[in-house]
């Protein structure tokens, strides 16, 4: 599947963005992973502590 976004797209939550990319319901806090393998949730926890 190819998704082309021709305009900047703002999502209300990480899950809304991951739902669109994956084409199914998902938890964006655990689906999004950075280059180091940390989930969005883990990165947020490190920033907030």
In a domain, 9, yes or no: no
Q: In 10 A of CB 40, how many CB atoms?
A: 19
In a domain, 18, yes or no: yes
Number of domains in the chain: 1
In a domain, 35, yes or no: yes
Bridge partners for 33 per DSSP: 39
Residue 6's Cβ-side half-sphere holds a number of Cα atoms within 13 Å equal to 0
> Can you list the alpha helix ranges (DSSP code H) found in 1-49?
14-22, 28-31, 40-48
Q: Which range of residues forms the domain containing residue 33?
A: 14-48
In a domain, 44, yes or no: yes
Q: What is the pTM of this model?
A: 0.78
Give the model confidence (pLDDT) of 2-49 as tens digits. 778 889 999 999 999 999 999 999 999 999 999 999 999 999 999 999
In a domain, 6, yes or no: no
Cβ(20)–Cβ(3) below 8 Å: yes
In a domain, 2, yes or no: no
């Amino acid at each position: 599947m190819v998704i082309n976004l021709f305009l900047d797209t703002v999502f209300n939550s990480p899950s809304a963005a991951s739902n669109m990319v994956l084409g199914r319901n998902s938890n964006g806090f655990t689906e999004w992973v950075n280059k180091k393998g940390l989930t969005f949730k883990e990165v947020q926890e490190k920033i907030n502590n």
